[in-house]
Chains A and B, each alone.
Chain A
Amino acid sequence: MEGELTSSRRVAHRSTREETEKEKNRIPGSVTAIEELIWFAGVATCIKLLLIPSYRSTDFEVHRHWLALTSSLPLSQWYYDETSPWTLDYPPLFAYFERFLSIFANLVDTKIVDLHNGLNYSADSVVYFQRISVMVSDLCLFYGVYRLTKSLDSAKRRMIWVLIVWSPALIIVDHVHFQYNGFLLGFLLISLSYLEEGRDLMGGFVFAMLLCFKHLFAVAAPVYFVYLLRHYCRGGLVNSIGKFLMMGTVVGSVFLVAFGPFLYHGQIQQVLRRMFPFGRGLCHAYWAPNFWVFYIISDKGLAFVLAKLGFSIQTPAASFTGGLVGDSSPFAVLPRVTPLVTFMLVLLALSPCLVKVWREPRPGMITRWVAYAYTCGFLFGWHVHEKASLHFVIPLAVVAVRSLEDARHYFLLSIVSCYSLFPLLFEADEYSIKVLLLLLHSLLTWVGFSSQFSKTTVVSTKQQGEKMGSKEGLVAAKGGGLVVGWVRICYLLVLLFVEVWGQFLHHYLLGDKLPFLPLMLISIYCALGIMYSWIWQLRFIIRCP
Chain B
Amino acid sequence: MGRKEKKDKDHKDDVCWLSVHGGVAALLLCIAVFALLVRVAVSIHPYSGAGDPPKYGDYEAQRHWMEITLNTPAKEWYRNSTINDLTYWGLDYPPLTAYQSYVHGLFLRFFHPDSVALFTSRGHESPIGKLLMRWTVLSSDVIVFFPAALYFIIVFYTGRRDNCKEDIAWHLAIILLNPCLILIDHGHFQFNCISLGFTIGAVAAIFSKHELVASVLFSLALNHKQMSAYFALAFFSHLLGKCLRRQKPFLEVLKLGLVVLGTFIITWWPYLYSVDAFMQVLSRLTPFERGIYEDYVANFWCTTSIIIKWKRLFTTQLLQLLSFNATILAALPSMVQQIRYPSNQGFLYALLNISFAFYLFSFQVHEKSILLPLLPASLLAVEEPHLFGWLTYYALLSMYPLLLRDHLILPYVSLLALFILFNYSPIRRQGRKERGFLSVWKVLLITLLLSCSLVLHLIYLMLKPPERYPFLFDAMIMLLCFSQFVLLAAYTNVKQWKFMSHSTSIEKEKKIL
**Those of B1-53 within 8 Å (CB) of chain A:** 3, 7, 10, 12-14, 16-18, 20-23, 26-27, 29-30, 33-34, 36-38, 40-42, 44-45
Instruction: Indicate whether A52 reaches chain B with its CB closer than 8 angstroms.
Output: yes
Whether A318 sits at the interface, judged by CB under 8 Å, is no
Residues of B contacting A455 with CB < 8 Å?
13, 21
Q: How far is the CA of A450 from the CA of B437 in the complex (A)?
A: 40
Which single member of A6, A446, A451 contacts B21 (CB below 8 Å)?
Answer: A451
A1-35 interface code vs B (CB 8 A; 1 in, 0 out): 11111111111111001000000000011001001
Specify which of B16, B128, B417, B495 is in contact with A2 (CB 8 Å cutoff). B495
**Does B390 contact A6, Cβ atoms closer than 8 Å?**
yes
Decide if A28 touches B421 in the complex (CB within 8 Å).
no
Cβ contact within 8 Å between B37 and A7: no
| B426 with A39: CB separation less than 8 A | yes
Q: Which one of A79-87, A211-219, A466-474 is at the B interface?
A: A466-474
Inter-chain contact B17/A436, CB cutoff 8 Å: no
* Residues on the B chain within 8 Å of A39, using CB: 421, 425-427
User: Is chain B's interface secondary structure helix, strand, loop, or mixed overall?
Assistant: helix
The count of residues in chain A whose C-beta lies closer than 8 Å to any C-beta of chain B is: 61
Say whether A117 faces chain B, with CB atoms less than 8 Å apart.
no
In the complex, the answer to whether A444 meets B30 with C-beta atoms within 8 Å is yes
Return chain A residues, CB-CB under 8 Å to B128: 428
Q: Are B442 and A4 in contact (CB under 8 A)?
A: yes
- On chain A, the residues within 8 Å of B127 by CB distance are 428-429
Segment at the interface with A among B306-314, B367-375, B406-414, B465-473: B406-414
- Closest B residue to A477 by CB, please name it: B21
Are the CB atoms of B20 and A473 closer together than 8 Å? yes
Whether B424 lies near A447 (C-beta < 8 A) is no
Cβ of A42 under 8 Å from chain B: yes
Residues of A within 8 A of B447 (CB): 11
Q: Decide: B390 and A477 in contact? CB cutoff 8 A.
A: no
Asked if A436 contacts B491 (CB within 8 A), the reply is no
Are A11 and B443 CB-contacts (below 8 A) given A433-B41, A470-B16?
Answer: yes
- Measured CB to CB, the closest approach of chain A to B494, in angstroms, equals 6
CA distance A71 to B469 in the complex (A): 45
Counting chain B residues whose Cβ lies within 8 A of the other chain, the interface size class is: 35 or more
Verify A7–B434 contact, CB threshold 8 A.
Answer: no
Task: Please name all residues of chain B whose beta carbon is closer than 8 Å to the beta carbon of A444 when the two chains form the complex.
Answer: 30
Q: Judge whether B450 is part of the interface by a CB distance below 8 angstroms.
A: yes
Q: What is the CA–CA distance of A454 and B446 in the complex, to the nearest angstrom?
A: 45
Residue A46 lies at the interface, judged by CB distance under 8 Å to chain B:
yes
User: If the complex has contacts A13-B424, A54-B44, are A6 and B450 also in contact, measured as CB distance less than 8 A?
Assistant: no
Evaluate contact between B442 and A439: CB separation under 8 angstroms: no
A8: which B residues are within 8 A, CB to CB?
Answer: 386, 389-390, 446, 449-450
**CB–CB B418/A6 < 8 A:** no
| Assembled-state Cα–Cα distance A280/B114 (Å) | 44
A448 at interface, CB cutoff 8 A: yes
Q: How far is the CB of B216 from chain A (nearest CB, A)?
A: 32
Asked if B21 contacts A454 (CB within 8 A), the reply is: yes
A43 within 8 Å of B by Cβ? Answer: yes
Tell me the B412-464 residues at the A interface (CB within 8 Å): 413-415, 417-418, 421-427, 429, 434, 436-439, 442-443, 445-447, 449-450
- Partner of A158 from the list B17, B44, B438 (CB cut-off 8 Å) is B17
* Cβ contact within 8 Å between A9 and B23: no
Q: Which residues of A contact B23 (CB under 8 A)?
A: 447, 450, 474, 477-478
Of B21, B127, B426, B434, most buried by chain A (CB within 10 Å of CB) is: B21
* Interface set of A (CB-CB < 8 Å, partner B): 1-14, 17, 28-29, 32, 35-36, 39, 42-43, 45-47, 49-54, 153-155, 158, 428-430, 432-433, 436-437, 439-440, 443-444, 446-448, 450-451, 454-455, 466, 470, 473-474, 476-478
Q: Could you list some 14 contacts between A and B, CB below 8 A?
A: A3-B436, A3-B442, A11-B447, A13-B429, A39-B426, A42-B421, A43-B418, A46-B415, A46-B418, A428-B127, A436-B33, A437-B37, A439-B33, A446-B26
B interface residues, Cβ below 8 angstroms from A:
3, 7, 10, 12-14, 16-18, 20-23, 26-27, 29-30, 33-34, 36-38, 40-42, 44-45, 127-128, 131, 138, 384-387, 389-390, 410-411, 413-415, 417-418, 421-427, 429, 434, 436-439, 442-443, 445-447, 449-450, 487-488, 491, 494-495
**8 other contacts beyond A2-B495, A3-B439, with CB at 8 A cut-off?**
A14-B438, A39-B421, A39-B427, A42-B421, A47-B41, A54-B44, A446-B26, A451-B17
